[in-house]
Amino acid sequence: MYERRGHPLLAWPVFLHRAAIHFVGALLLGVLGVGIGVVGYHFVAGLEWVDAFLNASMILSGMGPVDRLDASAAKIFAALYALFSGLMFVGVMGILLAPWLHRMFHWFHLDDSDAS
């Protein structure tokens, strides 16, 4: 998928297409993550759809929960979802940054004759 050390840098349009594909993948993962949280908060915690979306969005963005949860099952779901959200953040950032960091490292390792 990525060019090797001996290959020249990709042209900007091709690279931006690659970055756009990574962005779409990260966006889909984010939507999946919010969807898991919304469904869990709605069915496990008994929150209305809008409140479930608010809580899932706040947890996934790292801001913290909004509503107080009283049931043990809801608290366990919220704890597991918070752990999942932390890993999701790391994964999404890795997907978003991968093409840019690869291009930067590839550019650093170009021979002087290839840089033109």
pLDDT per position as a tens digit, 20-38: 999 999 999 999 999 999 9
Q: What is the mean pLDDT of the chain?
A: 90
Q: From the CB of residue 33, how many other CB atoms can be counted at a distance below 10 Å?
A: 22
What pLDDT is attached to residue 62? 87
Distance (Å, rounded) from C-alpha 27 to C-alpha 91? 11
Q: Would the pLDDT of 113 be above 60?
A: no
Distance (Å, rounded) from C-alpha 1 to C-alpha 39? 35
* pTM listed for this prediction: 0.81
Top-confidence residue, 110 or 57: 57
Class of domain 15-108 as given by CATH: mainly alpha
Tell me the domain boundaries of the chain: 15-108
Residue 109, CA distances (Å) to 14, 55, 98, 102 in order: 20, 45, 16, 11
Q: Would the pLDDT of 64 be above 60?
A: yes
Which residue type occupies 89?
F
